[in-house]
Amino acid sequence: LISLLMYIMGFYSLHESLHQEVTKLLSRFFWAGENNKQKYHMVKWSEIYKPKDQGGLGVISSKRMNIALLSKWLWRIQTEEGGLWLQIIRGKYLRGQLLAFASRSGGSQFWQSVMSLLPILRIGTSIQIGSGAATLFWLDKWAGPRPFAERFVALFSICVRP
């Protein structure tokens, strides 16, 4: 069942209630005794989620895995790693634009799920200006550790065309 769930999470952002249900089923597996009787919790659930090298059991959070799998699509698009599927994405959703300027509304459920994570991609990346054509002045971190929108909130709030 986990394999099927992983496959689906690679294409769709699952609802929070579904992540909670998965966590509930996993916790029952670890904490239910015979005939579904409650067992004493010897370890906190947060400890079970930790990687094995940090003393946990290596159980993966479905929500974190969902974000990671969908973010991988963004990374592949950004770094242009792909064959036919990348050409399809470019033709259907990007339409000649860079990922930073792609429409965040409309499109398939897959595309909406992927685009909702674009801010996460920006957290762990930095921008090299080059010609500046692919740089978002207010939202990209191109002049320091934080984007200008965070550093100059009042100015960004009155900007007519950010």
Which tens digits make up the pLDDT trace of 28-39? 877 776 777 777
Q: How far apart are CA 119 and CA 111, in angstroms?
A: 14
Q: What percent of the chain has pLDDT over 70?
A: 97
Instruction: Work out the number of other CB atoms within 10 angstroms of the CB of residue 105.
Output: 7
Please give the residue range of the domain that contains residue 31. Answer: 1-64
Would you say residue 112 lies in a domain? no
Reported pTM: 0.72
Would you say residue 88 lies in a domain? no
Residue 67: CB partners within 8 Å, gap ≥ 6? 117, 120
Would you say residue 22 lies in a domain? yes
Query: What's the alpha-carbon Rg for the chain, to the nearest Å?
Result: 20
Would you say residue 10 lies in a domain? yes
How many domains does the structure of the chain reveal?
2
Q: Which of 11, 31, 64 is the last residue of a domain?
A: 64
Name the residue with higher pLDDT: 6 or 101: 6
Digit-coded pLDDT (tens) for 67-123: 999 999 988 988 888 889 889 988 888 888 878 777 777 888 999 999 888 888 777
